[in-house]
């Protein structure tokens, strides 16, 4: 019985690891499309029309502790203040949010050129 449970645990672990490696990485082209359709109204060119002190520049992202994918994903998913909760409302799917976060970071690292 112990051997069967160990084998089942090993199989489940291997299955979960293999499913992690098959998940698609964030797509910058999808991120750009999502950004342009949902974010650019307030954040065109990395700016912030609602709160000019909280732009999407790398310096401001660092200052506001939003300079990593997890923080941006949380912001887009949950919203805050005037920013809608795109993930909570179902407007954006998790993969779209991950892609827009990757796009924002890539653009911030390039200075939004």
The reply to whether 13 falls in a domain is: no
11 burial level (CB within 10 Å; 0-12, 13-18, 19+) = exposed
The reply to whether 6 falls in a domain is: no
pLDDT tens, residue by residue, 94-104: 999 999 999 99
State the pLDDT confidence band at 5, using cuts at 50, 70 and 90.
Answer: very low
The reply to whether 76 falls in a domain is: yes
Q: In which domain, by residue range, is 31 found? A: 26-109
CB half-sphere exposure, 52, CA atoms < 13 A: 0
Instruction: For residue 79, give every residue at least 6 positions away whose Cβ sits within 8 Å of its Cβ, in sequence order, or none.
Output: 85, 86, 88
pLDDT tens, residue by residue, 25-68: 999 999 999 999 999 999 999 999 999 999 999 999 999 999 99
The reply to whether 48 falls in a domain is: yes
pTM of the prediction?
0.79
- Residue 80, classed as helix, strand or coil, is strand
Average pLDDT, the chain: 87
Main-chain dihedrals φ then ψ at residue 80, nearest 5 degrees: -175, 135
Domain with 72 in it: what CATH number? 1.10.760.10
């Amino acid at each position: 019985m112990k051997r069967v449970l160990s084998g089942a645990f090993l199989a489940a672990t291997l299955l979960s690891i293999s499913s992690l490696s098959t998940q698609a990485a964030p797509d910058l082209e999808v991120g750009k499309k999502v950004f342009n359709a949902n974010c650019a109204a307030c954040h065109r060119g990395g700016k912030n029309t609602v709160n000019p002190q909280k732009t999407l520049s790398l310096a401001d992202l660092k200052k506001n502790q939003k300079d990593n994918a997890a923080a941006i994903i949380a912001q887009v998913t949950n919203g805050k203040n005037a920013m809608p909760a795109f993930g909570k409302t179902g407007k954006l799917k998790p993969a779209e949010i991950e892609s827009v976060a990757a796009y924002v970071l890539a653009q911030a690292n390039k200075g939004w050129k």
